[in-house]
Structures are given as C-alpha cells and as structure tokens.
C-alpha cells in the first residue's frame, strides 16, 4: 500500500513539473561560456557554466510560454564582459515586455570593490534585491595599464618594435613609460562611450534622471541601506526570502528550472527533424592562430585555429540544409596569416549563402579581420572592435645577458638568418625589412576593410590606424552595421534566408560520436573542424607572449589590458 502511494506521489510530482508554473532561474556567479566546448578540457572547465546561446534562446521562448511566470537571476562572482552584459540585459528587457516578473538578486555588487558592470545588468530587472550585508559598488569605470619600460631598462632589456599606426599601442607597455596622447585619447573615448550607455541604462531601469545617476556614481560605493535610500535597490533580503517571495507570486505549484535546461529541452524537440532547413552557428573564440582550435592544459583561454574555423565554415557552406551562417566572433586577434585564412572562407561562404557576424565582448584587430567580409556585422554597444593595425618587433636581451655573464654566439648561413634572435638588435637592413612587412600587412588590412565595408581607402585609413572603438562608435563610423546581440544576428539570418522565425539553429561542425572518434578523411572532411589540446600553447601566458612578439600568436592582437573594471 505504501509502495503504491509513493509511486502515485512520484507520478503526480512529474506531472506537476511537466504542466505546473515555472520560475526560470539563472545563476551568473560562475559566469557564462560563449560557445559549446571544443575539446575535452573545455568540456570539463565549462561543466557548471550555462551557454550564452542557450540562455538567450530560453528567454526568447519563455516570453511566449504561459507556464513561465517569472525569472530570477543571481548576480556576483565571476565578472562578465561588457557585450555579454548587453546581450543579457537586452534579453531581460524583452522578456519583461511579456508582463512576467523579473527579479535580480545579489549578495553584493562588489565586496570592497567595484560593481558597476553587474549592477548595470541588474537594472534591467523589475526588482533589484540585495543581501542586507552587501554593498553597491557603483563607482564608475576604469582602465589601467602598467608600463614596464623603466624596469626593463634596469634589467638591460630593450625592445625594438614598429607599429601601424599611432593608435596601435599593444607594445607601449614595453616601449613607453607613460601613455602617448593617441593612447590616452583612444582609451578615454572608450570609457566615455561605455559610460554614456551605462548612465542611460541605469537611469531608464531605475527611473532616475541621468544627471542624478552621474551624481550617484561619483558618490559610490554605497552600503545596502544607502543604496535602498538612493533608489538603487528595491529590497534588502536574503536569498531564501527573495526566492520564497518569487515562488509565491508564481503560484503554489511553481518550481524552479534553470534557463539553460529549459532551452535545451525545447532544442531537442526542435531538432528532431535533422533534415530541416536551419541556420548554422559557428563560434570563433580566443586568440587567432594557424592550425586547430583548442587550449593548453596549462590553463588560459582557448585559441581560434584557422583550420578548425575554416573547416566549420566549409561544412556549413556545403550543407544544402543550411540556409545562412552566423559567425560568432569573440577574439582579440592574433596571427595575420590565420586571420586572412578565415577571412577567405567567410568571403567564399558569403557567395553561396548569407553570412552574419555577431561580435561578442571583443572582436578587434584579427578579430575584426575575420569579421569584415560578412554581409552584416552586428555588435553590442560595449563590444571592443576595430584596432585595424599591426605591430611587430622583438625584445633585445643582449645587455641583460651581458650583465649576468652569458655570452651568445651564432653561426648562420644567410645575411638575415638570425634576425629574429633576441640576443641582438636588428641591423638597418633588417629593420627596413621589418617595416616593409608591417606596411604590407597594414595596406592589405585597410584595403580589405575598404572593399568589405564599401568605404574609400582614405576613410578606411582614418578609421584604422590601430584605434580601438566601442561597438557604438564603430557603428557610427561604418565599421559595424547594426547594434544588437546574438539573437538579433540569428533573426537577421533567418530573414535573409527566408526562414520562419523559429527555424532551428545548429552549431557547426555537427558530428556524431563515430565521426569524432575516427578522425577526418581529408582537410575537406567536417571532422577536420574538431579542436584539440594545444600542448605547444603558452597557456595562461598566451596574451603576454603575443605582446612580446613571440611566434605563438601573431601581429594582429588587442592588448590584454583593454579590460574595463
């Protein structure tokens, strides 16, 4: 009798979970992943993180689902990039138009630290709740760079570098002891542009005057009581109190469900017809380099391999059921040659079917190179893009080696065989070759920008010169076509392909387990798009190796210090 009762209760609970009201939950304390895992290590590292595409598609579907009554998001922990924050904020605002409850909860917006970016995301929600012991670190935005020239000089390390042009400041940390005027101008405008967006968003979300928001930023940070008094938060409460309140508002049988789980359940049903016409989604994430994508087991971010991305684009191009391609780019750049390889595949694909680029947090230098050939470029206002320029050179260690008693000798055949050795500087003839190389790359980059973006070469050069732009300013200058996120890019791709608004999206390369195990038959096989562990990568030092001019990455790179906090 007891067993039968238990079975009945279990079945009833399952029925309620299938038919009862839902409160969607999103935990952002562990951050988000940009795309699906591309290698075993990435799969392990991203196990607890929801995918951005799943979150966006889940919120899009939930707007029209009568079962979904509310959305609650927990903020804090790992920081999110500016473009990612814009993506989520936009999705939440659209979700709110359906009339459903939205609540943001944080233990703190910065514990003895800045919290402007997560707080900006929170203001998209109808209610903002803060733990009583928390703070609101609304202190504004800052970018900081350390200059190492003085320390390197004391160590006996010189640096010979050329750059095209004055705004290409990636190597300045090694060659300057302070910001140059173009350097300061570029960074100041980035902060001004992002601040303008943040002030407008916070003012709209909290129903405050923009002037009042700027005043509050200058007064921050705030204790929880001060934040509530200033109208920055609605309620001071602990997690259990906030969650209980939301579930009561949703109904007595309401249960929690992560947004990503909700989205995946819908995706399984949508993809039950494998031969349906669809949109291909190709993710290009990390520093760009030749070979296959992947990451080092030493840690650090992954790499966008030109072989992997090219194979994915070829597979999507040749699939008759793929009617358009969305290329999601989140990269600071890297190798010029690898970037050019991917650019070629983008232009070839564009001749067959529409290609829409969706820019993530950063799509600059080589990240812009691989994007510029698309039919349409979509970026968020806070995306860092542009940086159309090049630099190259090497550290010169001869004085340091002499100081510590190391003598270096070289035997070579060929006048320039040892020109890239850090043990000696460039000769005048070698320096002339380096500058010719930089001129060639810059001219090719600017020429392709002009051709791809329908600009005169003079206008392309004016927008280039190595300058980094926000997505908002890049849009005003014609480097970006539309402001928006991944969902906007997918909607545009569906429209261009004349597909329905709910046409499925398939991540490319799409392979079954057997295809993943057997390996590719040739470079034309879609299995060639698989990533790998990069045992030869620099791991967590990959960005530094690029800035030092080491060969693992390349000359089209946005410096790591372009981080807004």
Q: Which residues are catalytic?
A: 168, 365
564 backbone dihedrals φ, ψ, rounded to 5°: -95, 130
Task: Report the phi/psi class of residue 555: left, alpha or beta, with left for phi > 0 and alpha for psi in -120 to 50.
Answer: alpha
Query: Residue 277: is it exposed, middle or buried by C-beta count within 10 angstroms (0-12/13-18/19+)?
Result: middle
- Residue 121 exposure: Cα atoms within 13 Å on the Cβ side: 26
Q: How far is CA 485 from each of CA 52, 71, 413, 461, rounded to the nearest angstrom? A: 11, 20, 53, 27
529 DSSP 8-state letter:
G
- CA–CA separation, 68 and 62 (whole Å): 6
- Residue 33 exposure: Cα atoms within 13 Å on the Cβ side: 19
Q: Which of 73, 92, 361 is nearest to 205 (CA)?
A: 92
Cross-strand pairs, 392: 162
In this structure, how many other beta carbons lie within 10 angstroms of the beta carbon of residue 27? 18
User: Hey, what are 174's tokens?
Assistant: 């090694």
- CA–CA separation, 541 and 514 (whole Å): 35
In this structure, how many other beta carbons lie within 10 angstroms of the beta carbon of residue 456? 9
- CA–CA separation, 279 and 35 (whole Å): 15
Displacement of CA 13 from its chain's centroid (Å): 40
Q: Which of 301, 304, 299 is nearest to 289 (CA)?
A: 304
Q: Which of 295, 293, 296 is nearest to 313 (CA)?
A: 293
Instruction: Report whether 109 contacts 128 (CB < 8 A).
Output: no
465 backbone dihedrals φ, ψ, rounded to 5°: 60, 20
- CA–CA separation, 441 and 164 (whole Å): 9
- CA–CA separation, 479 and 352 (whole Å): 23
User: Hey, what are 147's tokens?
Assistant: 């200059």
473 backbone dihedrals φ, ψ, rounded to 5°: -75, -35
176 backbone dihedrals φ, ψ, rounded to 5°: -125, 160
- CA–CA separation, 316 and 526 (whole Å): 9
Q: Specify the residue for token string 């839902």.
A: 22
């Amino acid at each position: 009798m007891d067993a039968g009762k238990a079975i009945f209760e279990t079945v009833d609970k399952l029925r309620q979970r299938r038919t009862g009201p839902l409160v969607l939950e999103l935990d952002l304390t562990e951050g988000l992943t940009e795309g699906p895992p591309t290698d075993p290590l990435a799969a392990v590292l991203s196990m607890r993180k929801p995918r951005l595409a799943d979150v966006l598609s889940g919120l899009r579907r939930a707007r029209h689902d009568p079962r979904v009554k509310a959305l609650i998001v927990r903020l804090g922990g790992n920081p999110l990039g500016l473009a990612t924050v814009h993506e989520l904020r936009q999705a939440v605002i659209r979700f709110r138009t359906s009339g459903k409850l939205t609540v943001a909860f944080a233990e703190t917006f910065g514990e003895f630290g800045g919290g402007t970016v997560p707080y900006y995301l929170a203001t998209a929600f109808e209610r903002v709740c803060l733990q009583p012991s928390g703070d609101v670190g609304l202190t504004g935005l800052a970018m900081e760079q350390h200059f190492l020239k003085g320390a390197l000089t004391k160590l006996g390390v010189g640096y010979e570098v050329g750059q095209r042009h004055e705004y290409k400041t990636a190597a300045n940390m090694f060659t300057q002891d302070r910001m140059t005027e173009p350097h300061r101008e570029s960074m100041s405008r980035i902060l001004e542009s992002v601040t303008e967006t943040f002030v407008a968003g916070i003012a709209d979300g909290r129903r405050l005057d923009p002037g009042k928001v700027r005043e509050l930023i200058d007064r921050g940070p705030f204790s929880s009581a001060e934040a509530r008094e200033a109208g920055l938060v609605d309620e001071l409460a602990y997690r259990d109190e906030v969650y209980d309140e939301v579930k009561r508002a949703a109904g007595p049988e309401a249960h929690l469900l992560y947004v990503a789980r909700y989205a995946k359940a819908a995706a399984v049903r949508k993809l039950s017809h494998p031969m349906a016409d669809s949109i291909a989604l190709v993710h290009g994430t990390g520093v760009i380099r030749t070979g296959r994508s992947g990451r080092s087991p030493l840690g650090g971010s992954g790499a966008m391999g030109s072989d992997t991305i090219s194979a994915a684009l070829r597979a999507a191009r040749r699939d008759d059921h793929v009617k358009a391609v969305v290329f999601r780019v989140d990269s600071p750049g890297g190798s010029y040659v690898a970037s050019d390889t991917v650019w070629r595949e983008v232009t070839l694909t564009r001749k067959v079917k529409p290609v829409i680029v969706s820019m993530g947090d950063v799509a600059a230098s080589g990240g812009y190179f691989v994007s510029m050939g698309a039919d349409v470029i979509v970026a968020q206002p806070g995306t860092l893009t542009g940086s159309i320029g090049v630099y190259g050179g090497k550290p010169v260690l001869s004085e340091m080696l002499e100081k510590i008693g190391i003598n270096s000798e070289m035997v070579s055949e060929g006048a320039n065989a040892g020109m890239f050795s850090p043990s000696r500087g460039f000769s005048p003839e070698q320096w002339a070759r380096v500058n010719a190389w930089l001129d060639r790359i810059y001219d090719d980059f600017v020429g392709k920008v002009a051709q791809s973006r329908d600009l005169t070469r003079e206008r392309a050069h004016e927008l280039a010169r190595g300058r980094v732009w926000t997505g908002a300013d890049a849009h005003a200058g014609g480097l970006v076509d539309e402001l928006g996120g991944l969902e906007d890019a997918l909607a545009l791709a569906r429209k261009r392909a004349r597909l329905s608004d709910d046409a499925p999206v398939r991540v490319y390369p799409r392979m079954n387990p057997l295809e993943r195990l057997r390996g590719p038959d040739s470079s034309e096989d879609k299995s060639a798009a698989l990533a790998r562990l990069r045992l030869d990568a620099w791991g967590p030092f990959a960005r530094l190796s690029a800035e030092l001019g080491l060969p693992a990455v390349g000359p089209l790179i946005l410096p790591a210090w372009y981080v807004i906090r």
